[in-house]
Amino acid sequence: MSKRARNDSEGRHAERSLLTLLLAVIDAGRWLAPPSRRREWRRQWRADIWHESRWLDREAPGIGPRATLVRRTAGALRHAFWLRLHVRSLEMITHDLRYGWRMMLRKPGFTAAAVLTLGLGIGANVTMFSWVDAMLRRQLNGVPGFSSSPRLRCR
């Protein structure tokens, strides 16, 4: 095998090793992405890295473009973190709601007691403040000088 052919073969081998390594980084990093976006994130990054690597094979020899590809692959992890921070909030709300609903169904006695307590508490408060409003505050509206009294005026 001539020296040039051997160099080409070694170059292709290094290229394939780099691609394998970068795809392995994406496979490992997919756990950083939120579950709802994980599959798409991995698919998109694997495809973009694969195409870029092939393009570099054909068009851009040298170490510089490969270093750029490695840097860009590292950005995939930042993208996954970003998704985790921005997609997580909505997922967490739906997760909490689903969990709460399951717990309510699993313990109906506790659910009934909680609903009854809340209902009685809200009902008692509404009744009490309605009575105070009707019997005291509205009746005072007829008293002369009430609205201008500095001691009773609402600020």
Partner 1 sequence: MRKPAPLAFGHVSILHAIADGSRFGFDIMDATGFTSGTVYPALDKLESLGYVTSKWEDPRRARRDKRPPRRYFDLTDAGASALAAALTRYKNLKPVSLAAWRVRPSEG
First to last CA, the chain: 96
- Give me the half-sphere count of Cα atoms (radius 13 Å) on the Cβ side of residue 149: 9
- When binding is defined by CB under 8 A, the residue of 6, 16, 39, 86 that contacts partner 1 is 86
Q: Residues 34-53 vs partner 1: string with x where CB under 8 A?
A: ------x--xx-xxx-xxx-
> Closest approach of Cβ 82 to partner 1, in Å?
4
Shortest Cβ distance from residue 13 to partner 1 (Å)?
20
Alpha helices in the chain (DSSP H): 3-29, 35-59, 63-106, 108-132, 138-140
Q: Give the interface with partner 1 as residue ranges (CB under 8 A).
A: 40, 43-44, 46-48, 50-52, 54, 71-79, 82-83, 86
